[in-house]
């Protein structure tokens, strides 16, 4: 347990950042799931629109360090390939 005032503040900051990061990670997953569900439904137009909305969100979270840049690139590449294959 944190004893000094500095350690207590650090613990508070870490917890608030953890919760914020968890929300941002969840948001990225939601955008990705929207694209995946549109692909599975076979609706190319909706899939392209969902992908166009997801790419800037994925990039932003990659820049913030919420997800790794290679993971972001992998998601974008795979989703794009699935859409093109439709």
Residue 67 pLDDT exceeds 90: yes
Which residues touch 7 (CB under 8 Å, ≥6 apart)? none
Percent of the chain with pLDDT over 70: 100
If you average pLDDT over residues 10-29, what whole number do you get? 97
pLDDT tens-digit series, residues 31-53:
999 999 999 999 999 999 999 99
Residue 2 pLDDT exceeds 90: no
């Amino acid at each position: 347990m944190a004893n000094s005032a500095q350690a207590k503040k650090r613990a508070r900051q870490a917890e608030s950042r953890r919760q914020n990061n968890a929300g941002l990670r969840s948001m990225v997953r939601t955008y990705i799931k929207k694209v995946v569900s549109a692909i599975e439904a076979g609706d190319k137009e909706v899939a392209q629109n969902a992908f166009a909305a997801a790419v800037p969100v994925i990039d932003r979270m990659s820049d913030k360090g919420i997800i790794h840049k290679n993971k972001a690139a992998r998601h974008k590449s795979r989703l794009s390939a699935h859409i093109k294959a439709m």
